[in-house]
Structure 1
């Protein structure tokens, strides 16, 4: 999978080297929207010296590490927070291709860290107030000792091929007429390959074979890890479940329907397959 490595310009860490957080890059979220500095043709992540209008609420941030050599922090603010002049809170997906890729990748991590912090202030076992676990991205309950780590939900997404055609489906949750690959969460007790087989059978009633890993992508909506696969058609007739999937069909690369945005691993797999099988 062709994408930039998140660690190219980023050194992860949990504990800040000192308590002076009034510097560096700040990944700030309000209602899961990211604060960006608006420029003419691009956007950027603000630095602390640009955030004087928010200085009173930028307390107790979460340290991410060093980004482009500077400290990086993330924080979630109240829903009523107003963006400073020259900045705006925007949907994270809309920043793909607007932010530089390194910033987009770290923002995708930051939004998950913030969401985890907001939803794990109390112990999921006994209800007591949790504390940060020193040296780790974790919460520990001082009463019962239960430890919570950021939750990541693995999901498989698969391109199925049959006689130089690719299977694309329209899910009821999709906007417009977008068609994409079959996807679903991995269930307890199954392998990734078994999850691929089960999801495809559940949603469109066909069997597949020669399942191969293609690549992965963090998908912070809200906390998934997408694991991409390819597979070959083995047997059966397409019969959509009518619950998640409303339509599915085999498509030639020269006649594809409306596709998902380029930010998604689904589109990356489809584009890869298209390049491999285009007549031109």
Structure 2
């Protein structure tokens, strides 16, 4: 489908749709919290829309982008993606995050970066293709590491300058080209708090749509060095015992899972 040939309707009546204004998701909030269906948003001004098979693997869904000044129907509200977890649960959070990432990627790649021809949707995979020169574009997924560093029963927690007031978490950062995940762990910890680590082991992963990351979690142990915050991204950091933790991230994030894992092993 040419991006200019907008979808007239999903293939299934009553199919849930992911409609965004910027990074806010439109939800029905009355009488219960749920995704709107196509019939709810069909009359709204939309700057783009597309089938949602890429999002859920099920036919009938769609994503859509609301224009900035669109008036919302009664009983509907815009919420952050983080709010989706508490309002609708884990599955809805990940599907909404995937929808947002697909929408952002699709809108950024409407035209071929090589020859400027309008891109079309691939039939058998999540991709956009140029019908003129054959260039294929896949959704952007940016790998990032996140690591819980331990030292003698204490956990390294740091305060990023972008965190809410008082919030601390484990160290995280993006993987650079040509770098292994383990190498990224070593570099990020050294760059942000001047500490060397050892015994790096894989913990788990989580897609994170802020904006299009794949968070890969690790555990590690302190090897040498004393904490010195970089003063750029990290304003303060320290070793914390379980009974003296500061404010930490909410439960749906892999950062919290890493912290909870530490607490479970040191309770």
Q: State the TM-score, normalizing by the size of structure 1.
A: 0.85
The one of 164, 167, 170 aligned to 2:159: 170
Cα 1:69–1:195 shift into 2, 3 Å? closer
**Contact 1:65–1:71, Cα closer than 8 Å, also in 2:** no
Tell me the distance in 2 between the aligned counterparts of 1:156 and 1:208.
Answer: 14
Task: Give yes or no for the alignment of 1:257 onto 2:209.
Answer: no
The one of 191, 199, 204 aligned to 1:215: 204
**Contact 2:10–2:62, Cα closer than 8 Å, also in 1:** no
**Contact 1:160–1:166, Cα closer than 8 Å, also in 2:** yes
Task: Give yes or no for the alignment of 1:23 onto 2:10.
Answer: no
**Contact 2:21–2:66, Cα closer than 8 Å, also in 1:** yes
Cα 1:267–1:60 shift into 2, 3 Å? closer
Cα 1:57–1:205 shift into 2, 3 Å? closer
For structure 1, the 5+ residue unaligned runs are 1-15
Tell me the distance in 2 between the aligned counterparts of 1:206 and 1:20.
Answer: 55
Cα drift, residue 19 of structure 1 = 6.5
* Structure 1 range deviating more: 56-65 or 237-246: 56-65
1:47 is aligned to 37
Cα 1:69–1:193 shift into 2, 3 Å? closer
The CA RMSD over aligned residues, in Å, is 2.4
* Structure 1 range deviating more: 20-29 or 185-194: 20-29
The within-5 A match list for 1:200-239 is: 200-239=189-228
Cα drift, residue 196 of structure 1 = 0.3
Tell me the distance in 1 between the aligned counterparts of 2:236 and 2:46.
Answer: 48
CA deviation vs aligned residue, 1:104-162 (integer Å, no higher than 9, x gap): 22111111011111111122233332222222221122332211100100000000000
* Structure 1 range deviating more: 178-187 or 80-89: 80-89
Tell me the distance in 2 between the aligned counterparts of 1:165 and 1:66.
Answer: 40
The one of 241, 248, 259 aligned to 1:270: 259
* Structure 1 range deviating more: 219-228 or 99-108: 99-108
Task: Give yes or no for the alignment of 1:38 onto 2:29.
Answer: yes
1:3 is aligned to none
Cα drift, residue 263 of structure 1 = 2.2
Tell me the distance in 2 between the aligned counterparts of 1:67 and 1:219.
Answer: 16
**Contact 1:62–1:75, Cα closer than 8 Å, also in 2:** no
**Contact 2:193–2:228, Cα closer than 8 Å, also in 1:** yes
Cα drift, residue 59 of structure 1 = 7.2
The within-5 A match list for 1:1-280 is: 20-39=11-30, 43-51=33-41, 53-54=43-44, 57=46, 60-64=49-53, 71-278=60-267
Q: State the TM-score, normalizing by the size of structure 2.
A: 0.89
Tell me the distance in 1 between the aligned counterparts of 2:230 and 2:265.
Answer: 30
Tell me the distance in 2 between the aligned counterparts of 1:19 and 1:221.
Answer: 27
Q: Between Structure 1 and Structure 2, how many residues are aligned? A: 260
Cα drift, residue 53 of structure 1 = 4.3
